[in-house]
Structure 1
Amino acid sequence: MRIKSIAAALAIVGALSLGTPFPLSGAQAEPASAKGWSSIAVGASHSLAVKNDGTVWQWGEIAIYSGAEEGETVLSALVPEQVSGLTDVIAVAGGQIHSLALREDGTVWSWGGNHDGELGDGTDKSRTVPAQVAGLTDVVAIEADWIRSFAVKKDGTVWGWGGFYYRDSEGTVRNASVPTQLNGLSDVVSISSGYGSFVALKKDGTVWQYLEQLTQIPNVVNMVQVAVGSQYTYGLDTDGTVWYWGSNGEGMSNGVSMADGSAARKLEGATGVAAIQASAGGPLLLKKDGTVWASGTNAGGQLGNGSFQSSDTLVRVTGLKKMTKIAAHGIGFRSMAIRADGTLWSWGAPYLGDGTKWNGKIPVAIASYPNETIEQDPYFVEVNGSYLRMDQPPISQDGRILVPLRAIFEAMGATVEWNSAASTITAEKGSLTIRLTVGEKTAWVNGQKLAIDVPPAIVNNSALVPVRFISESLGAKTDWDASSKTVIIVSGE
């Protein structure tokens, strides 16, 4: 019997070898697309995350203002709860009491509080169910702050709605309760806002601030990302350094902070940075080596270093490695990050998402499905520059690292055949044929006998083999990074 699915073949291996009932248990049968997280956002008192299947989940506390005559309702969740009606979402944004979602088709959806028109439907009626923001298409980026919402379109124009005022073509100052194009902004790729400040990053790397009028931030060039905090705005340079300048909306005039009128300057210690965000306390940085760093005030524990003490210099967030995304917001004291294996980590001010409502001084893992087991310090596998997301991570056994055969062979384009009579797995890739027998320390590669340090191990219905076997059988180069516990495999092709 030929099985094209590697996952199916190895599931059968596990069932036959261990006597495990078939099908798998509920936790193991969780669809792969529903495991792990792909995008995150932080609001004032709530958080948002997108799963790999494109669904949206939220937790924390959201005050829903239903209008003066209807009062206020507080929605509270200690663990992620799915937001109904949203699929195919690629990005989210959180404000004080409202939320935005960007779908793959370029449409924007909103829900939550609406007392200043931040939902963009022309009313002040709040709602818990998402609805599409009319008039917006081809959107590539979204942003939200206290009571405002923004969107960047594919053509580089910026649209805003909610609690901000603009001057229309007749010179009348109006409140925008539906999406309204912000005059003067073009060629924009991303935006950031908070505490009254709003900045736009253009394709040419310049940064522009939109308050009473549009103003370019002087001496700030070559930026690839911007993040507004409570006191400063941060910009990521193409060379991996970070610049900052005054951004307090209170006392701001023509892009210059009256509280801090000094010119943009480099953030000390910020080198090799891959992404930036900012909380109400200060910057949050993701470095190219996968570590996360923060500085500033630490009122909610958002520095993640095990204390509530503030720091004028960058400190490393405890326990985080191989991170790929970070999230924070200038209106809150909470931070989040996604690891290369798709796991989500949260720390700082209340409602972290782990079932508690207190501040967290170090990151905690947020499960993507019930009873998910998340390792604090796992092994990783990198194949041709990409990290593998695996149901079963590598393990250490008798001084050797065992890696999941299924995930490795899938990543390298092999197919698998299971022979139930002989209890063998045959993998084929081009002219290469590999045969393994469960429980035996011998493999056959194109008919040639190859000794294995330890036999294939069945762990949680996955077959694991020694790292050395991958390199010797597939002709790949295999390295070991002990500092990050990462197996690095480079295909011979």
Structure 2
Amino acid sequence: MTNSRTAPRGRLRPALAATVTALTVLGLASVPVGTAHAQEKRLKSWGNNRAGQLGDGTWTDFRTTATTVLGLTSAEVVKIAAGGAGPANGHGLALLTDRTVQSWGSNGSGQLGDGSVFSHNAPGQVVNLSNATDVAAGGAHSLALLADQTVVSWGRNNYGQLGNGTNADSSVPVRVEGLNKVIAIAAGLNHSLALREDGTVWAWGYNINGQLGDGTSASRTVPSPVSNLTGVTRIAAGCNHNLALVGPPSSATKPTSGNAVKAWGYNATGQLGDNSTISRYSPVDTQGIWLGGVSQIAAGCNHSLAVTDSDNRLKAWGQNTSGQVGDGTTDYRITPVQVPGLSGIQLVSGGREHTIALLGDNTVRSWGNNGSGQLGNGTTTDSSTPVTTLTALTGVDKIAAPVGGDFSLAN
């Protein structure tokens, strides 16, 4: 990865550029008090920052409590995504109300989409992109769903994860071939997923462990359908495994027992939840009794998560080296177990070896690996049970963690 300690021209909004440059040199980068938006709610980040993935204008190694992502007010941020392919790298994406996308952090493969391969510690605009409706971030590549229900991608493409029929990296958005009527996207370490409005899932990129779900181990540079999978309403991608919710999502007002979680791909640590450690090249049923049904699914690198029942409780399974399953142990779980002491969960996201959850009171809890402060509780001590994240925000409604990285975002 090439690391640039100064942002190139055009990366920052003009009004902030001079201030950020000056403050960065002094090691004091922050939103200056005198600016018009100084008191507005802002996007926050914490954890590892060696590639500028916290977006706060510094290269400080890590932050154990929330810092401010420069230049982005909470009101203008519609969706956020976090990517990363190792403990010390990562990148962030923010979809804004004007349907443009801002990016920051690692950029050695062009995953920031600004036409360069220089890493940046503050947000700047993805080029040639003005009609996005969703974003997803993988190991070193990024995806955007467009208003016309097609998908574009940029960044690393060594396994075809950009889906444009080549293996060439791209530092600007390129069209994913052969996809339309897409309603959701997800990005793994080196592969990508799209959910179409007909309930089918399409996958492309790296496939050595069956993560494309087409019954083979052949990587693909264009999307192909996941075998024997229909009626899908939610998708999630881990490093090398995937989850799909089949059937309508449950909710407090409309609980359902008619949905199921399917999984496929790498399974050495039980992340598929099928009571085995055998990798699967096509979808299998995740075991467990989903009382009241499943409302949400999420995947960390090698662990998996599902929000279930009318109380919005959380179940987790898979790798648990650092306590990322959250059950008070470091035992791997090959079937789902309940995370104790949590209810009212609104959102959940999985990182490399940590998990973050947004509760109904708009506060954040986190657990697992904390070597870079990615739990945000002011320490670097791992926790196998949920701890309170110090976000310095009220009314959080968005969270993100990178599938292969060690930082977190909240808005």
Please point out which of 294, 298, 304 is paired with 1:227.
298
Change (3 A) 1:79 1:172: closer
Q: Which amino acid aligns with 1:325?
A: K
Q: Which amino acid aligns with 1:274?
A: Q
CA distance in 1, matches of 2:399, 2:160: 28
**Deviation at 1:151?**
0.4
CA distance in 2, matches of 1:147, 1:284: 22
- 1:325 matched to which residue of 2? 398
The yes-or-no answer on 1:183 pairing with 2:227 is yes
The structure that is strand-richer by fraction is: 1
| 8 Å contact from structure 1 (residues 34, 53) kept in 2 | no
CA distance in 1, matches of 2:133, 2:166: 26
How many residue pairs match? The answer is 294
CA distance in 2, matches of 1:34, 1:313: 29
* Deviation digits for residues 274-303 of structure 1 (CA, Å, limit 9, x no counterpart): 111111222210111111110111122111
* Deviation digits for residues 316-372 of structure 1 (CA, Å, limit 9, x no counterpart): 11123211111113311111111xxxxxxxxxxxxxxxxxxxxxxxxxxxxxxxxxx
| 8 Å contact from structure 1 (residues 298, 309) kept in 2 | yes
- 1:41 matched to which residue of 2? 81
| 8 Å contact from structure 1 (residues 207, 220) kept in 2 | no
- 2:13 matched to which residue of 1? none
- 1:355 matched to which residue of 2? none
CA distance in 1, matches of 2:79, 2:370: 25
CA distance in 2, matches of 1:230, 1:36: 29
**Deviation at 1:243?**
0.6
- 1:51 matched to which residue of 2? 96
Change (3 A) 1:87 1:152: same
Which ranges of structure 2 fall in alignment gaps of 5 or more residues? 1-33, 38-71, 85-89, 248-257, 266-280, 321-330
CA distance in 2, matches of 1:50, 1:295: 26
**Deviation at 1:213?**
2.9
Matching of residues 157-236 of structure 1 within 5 Å = 157-164=200-207, 174-203=218-247, 204-211=258-265, 212-221=281-290, 222-236=293-307
CA distance in 1, matches of 2:383, 2:211: 41
| 8 Å contact from structure 1 (residues 230, 281) kept in 2 | yes
Change (3 A) 1:34 1:173: closer
CA distance in 1, matches of 2:126, 2:119: 13
- 1:389 matched to which residue of 2? none
CA distance in 2, matches of 1:187, 1:159: 13
CA distance in 2, matches of 1:220, 1:213: 22
CA distance in 2, matches of 1:331, 1:178: 23
**Deviation at 1:270?**
1.3
**Deviation at 1:310?**
1.0
* Deviation digits for residues 112-149 of structure 1 (CA, Å, limit 9, x no counterpart): 11111111011111111112212111111111121101
The yes-or-no answer on 1:238 pairing with 2:309 is yes
| 8 Å contact from structure 1 (residues 143, 193) kept in 2 | yes
Change (3 A) 1:296 1:173: closer
CA distance in 1, matches of 2:344, 2:206: 37
CA distance in 1, matches of 2:125, 2:163: 22
The yes-or-no answer on 1:301 pairing with 2:345 is no
- 1:447 matched to which residue of 2? none
The yes-or-no answer on 1:335 pairing with 2:408 is yes
Q: What SS does the corresponding residue of 1:123 show, helix, strand or coil?
A: coil
CA distance in 2, matches of 1:127, 1:119: 8
CA distance in 2, matches of 1:235, 1:312: 17
Report the TM-score when normalising by structure 1: 0.56
CA distance in 2, matches of 1:167, 1:263: 19
RCO (CA 8 Å, sep 6+): is it higher in 1 or 2?
2
Change (3 A) 1:54 1:312: same
Give the fraction of aligned pairs with identical amino acids, expressed as a percent.
33
Q: Which amino acid aligns with 1:118?
A: Q
CA distance in 2, matches of 1:324, 1:64: 30
Q: What SS does the corresponding residue of 1:323 show, helix, strand or coil?
A: coil
Change (3 A) 1:88 1:167: closer
Q: What SS does the corresponding residue of 1:174 show, helix, strand or coil?
A: coil
Please point out which of 263, 267, 277 is paired with 2:349.
277
| 8 Å contact from structure 1 (residues 228, 247) kept in 2 | no
Matching of residues 248-397 of structure 1 within 5 Å = 260-318=332-390, 319-338=392-411
Q: Which amino acid aligns with 1:42?
A: A
Change (3 A) 1:287 1:179: same
Change (3 A) 1:33 1:134: farther
**Deviation at 1:36?**
1.9
Change (3 A) 1:58 1:195: same
Please point out which of 123, 139, 145 is paired with 2:166.
123
Q: What SS does the corresponding residue of 1:64 show, helix, strand or coil?
A: coil
**Deviation at 1:96?**
1.5
CA distance in 2, matches of 1:61, 1:89: 21
CA distance in 2, matches of 1:172, 1:244: 27
- 1:143 matched to which residue of 2? 186
CA distance in 2, matches of 1:271, 1:127: 42
Matching of residues 86-125 of structure 1 within 5 Å = 86-125=129-168
Q: What SS does the corresponding residue of 1:63 show, helix, strand or coil?
A: coil
Please point out which of 61, 75, 79 is paired with 2:106.
61
